[in-house]
Amino acid sequence: MNVSHNSIDKLNAVISIEIEKADYAERVKKSLRSYGERANIPGFRRGHVPYGMLVKMFGKSVKAEEINRLVSESLYNYISDNKLNILGEPMTAEDQTIDLDAEENFTFKFDIALAPEINVTVDKNIKVPYYNIAVSDDMVAKQDEMFRQRQGKQLTVEAVTEERDLVKGSMVELENGAAKEGGIVVESTILSPAYIKEEKEKFNGVKVGDKVVFNPAAACQDSVGELASMLNIDREAAANVKSDFEMTVTEITHLQPAEHDQEFFDGIFGKDNVKSEEEYTAKVREMIAAQLAPESDYRFGIDARKAIETAVGEIELPSEFLKRWLVATNEKYTDENIAEEYGKMEADLKWHLIKEHIAKAFEVKVADEDLKALAMSVTRQQFAQYGMTNVPDELLENYLQEMLKSKESRSQLIDRATEAKIQTAIKNAVTLEEKEISTEDFGKLFQE
């Protein structure tokens, strides 16, 4: 057997694998005997099928299997042994025709695409802007309001004092100003003026025992789902409701925001982690800054990519091979759309090659502790979305262990951790031009 490769140009080559009968004959014989030991053939005891019959029954298929296996092993061993940096996967040469039944000696040819040689140097000579998003007093005030609302207490009051109050009562459908005969009657429902889109002014200052006439369809701006929920009826029936209703108020609930006391501080940031108004404000500001940091990092990634691509210069890819390979391996690509689709992905393919060089240069590796740290961060963020900012570590540990057990989740975490490490390596290597920026101006960067 002889394996060799011939360069077509600096990006394309052909690997040739010459096989003679002696290279595969023994493998075929061994495989056939293995078939004989396992096959259940009428008229013969298992393991006692004549070899000639095995050849007649399975010879062609076994020969094809063993030749394909030998060729595949030889191909990938050659690529590995010769450290060929290929793109995609080897593809059978387009002009190749082989008849396994009629021949004994074969020459298999495979087209391969070689990764271009690129020079990637990431150092202080590359300058990248880094935008630190300023935490405004308004951001702190809004976050504080959210915390106070979350830690607040529900109080039963006599009158509506603000639109976020909850109004409970019964409702009856009206016709000509009076209760409609056979109309809709709602024994109990709850609404909040804050979520009424029209007619909310009718609930200003309403007291327990008052009767309020309003139009639920208008209040919900014809949202069938909201109207059905308010009237406790199905969506189909709600679609036809346009009448006024009279609501008799039976109860009003007011959310009393929490005061800035030690109980409040402990509930937000854990026991005794914050002990004063000043410490609380500083902690809130720090928390918001941490929440904004990923946005800054995301923008840095965009700007760093642009700067590094400029420093690297133009990269030539074996485009025709890659188009052919994509059509052959992915059903979403066809001969008709591959030119357009490839055009969309070419820039990302080049950036992927650059990142591979960066990962190798900075010896980027993802360890188990990296995955665990990322899983902990993801889990903590998931709880924070539901307002749970002080979840015990032991509870987070249980969730992240479940996450790491999932093959799909683990793979996603590895990709994210690798990407994050590459970005950190870039961030530490280049010259950062740090700038403080408002959220408004930061948003404009993406419009540009």
Angle at 193 (CA atoms; ends 166, 250), nearest 5 degrees: 40
Higher pLDDT residue, 357 or 388? 357
Answer whether residue 80 shows pLDDT above 70: yes
Range with the poorest average pLDDT among 111-120, 153-162, 373-382: 373-382
172 with 80, same domain: the answer is no
Residues 309-337 have a mean pLDDT of 94
Strands 245-256 and 166-175: antiparallel
Residues 312-329 have a mean pLDDT of 94
308 with 403, same domain: the answer is yes
Q: Classify the phi-psi angles of 24: left when phi > 0, otherwise alpha if psi is within -120 to 50, otherwise beta.
A: alpha
pLDDT of residue 206: 95
pLDDT of residue 214: 95
pLDDT of residue 397: 80
170 with 133, same domain: the answer is no
DSSP letters spanning 131-172: EEE---HHHHHHHHHHHHHHT-EEEEESB--STTSEEEEEEE
The 10s digit of each residue's pLDDT in 256-314 is 999 999 999 999 998 899 999 999 999 999 999 998 999 999 999 999 999 999 999 99
Nearest Cα neighbor of 301 from 412, 420, 381, 126 is 420
**pLDDT, mean over the chain:** 90
The 10s digit of each residue's pLDDT in 101-136 is 778 899 999 999 999 999 999 999 999 999 999 999
439 with 304, same domain: the answer is yes
The domain containing residue 200 runs over which residues?
A: 153-256
Give the global pTM: 0.73
pLDDT of residue 312: 94
280 with 215, same domain: the answer is no
419 with 311, same domain: the answer is yes
Query: What CATH number does residue 50 fall under?
Result: 3.30.70.1050
What percent of the chain has pLDDT above 70?
97
73 with 33, same domain: the answer is yes
User: CA–CA distance from 317 to each of 266, 273, 330 (Å)?
Assistant: 58, 56, 19
DSSP letters spanning 269-304: H-TTT--SHHHHHHHHHHHHHHHHHHHHHHHHHHHH
Contact (CB, 8 A) for 245 and 215: yes
Per-residue b or e along 298-310, where b marks 16 or more CB atoms closer than 10 Å to that residue's CB: ebbbebbbebbbe
**Total tally of structural domains belonging to the chain:** 3
86 with 134, same domain: the answer is no
